[in-house]
Structure 1
């Protein structure tokens, strides 16, 4: 009898398939639990929408006529340029909420209860990050409506626009794993919130999100051009058709190939921080 058709090999294949299927089912159960919790506490979603809407209004109407993009200080040009940065900032700032939620579950002992159940080890974190992804997607929909109201438009067609939003959500999902690791590494939700935001501000502001990187000092410009956040912003602008006429595209590889750079950065972040977060989860104590 061949090895492929042996009972032992078929049993091993069933175990692998069953383990993967159980992990998916457990992750979806945890995601459903977190989504129900969000529905029952709608103020969390509402307050999460206020900050990005404020950023849209403030940057559009307060700074719009003061920042030159592609040699133009026209506020409408800046609004087209700005929105991809606001979208990206919104999906990454959800990291702090993800970390705080996991830290709160640990503080209340809920994580220990999950760990005592016969379920896949990574399902708790995967379910949590999937639920956060759904919330982030809803936030993006509302934010896009607000952006259209203030004058933002898509110029490259629906399919490319969907691809742009998909890259933004992939970046948000990748960063939610950073938030998960932070939430597992601290003792209180307050510490997770602070730890989740303290590194996001330099990451998002030393980038091409709000101003062109070529206006920065050389060191900061190099950091901005190789920043994974900048790659996703540039990719979204390209797919939305929001790069202003005359806007100089930097020579750095991520800026020349932003879609590929965004995909590579997001996948690397997911693989690295998911591995670290699951390992931390297995050894964590409340």
Structure 2
């Protein structure tokens, strides 16, 4: 019997991660859902009619290496190697470097958004490399969820912008490392940079969010980009155009545009 393909998704308890899980389920994939809130994922899976033959739930914290690596190893033991691994877990918190306690904000954002991404990929790389020795295997893909916020720095958003810029560079480095040599197809590395998506992460933003997308619309476009193996995609495309223009602006012009604009709010906690 032909086994349905498997996708492993972190940050799958809400927002983009949950929407991606639903899109893959609709396409006939088995889904391994990973987040700290196992009960939320389990309840969602039941609501969607996803039984234990189509969905596995793992409670894990990507900021703790042992936790996410253990979840990945459990997934491989139970269902085999995923064809697609999506490192989606991430947080966004405003910070002020002048406030000493906000250094802890930066540390936590980097621990989840960057180290968590690497720890998510780590347990799959060697098994995937072993599989890609066989050129008949289906493409194996690692997906990093970045953000257009990683393209230029925004006031009050230093932690998040820096972390997502790091995701873009990290995935680019990893793509070069895992590219196949002659006779080998290699492991595909895909970077997806969302614009504004209506999720709990963006719901507290107090500034305009142009081209705001629903999670479902984003997930559909991301699914297609991942299946195509597109190395880097900004979704929606309109934000890609804006991002390119902002990247080309001289610093003096960019600073002038941002002058007087509201900054990302600090976390009151």
TM normalised by structure 2 equals 0.31
Larger-gyration structure (1/2): 1
Indicate the structure with greater helix content. 1
TM normalised by structure 1 equals 0.30
Query: Which structure would you say has the larger RCO, counting Cα contacts within 8 Å and 6 or more residues apart?
Result: 1
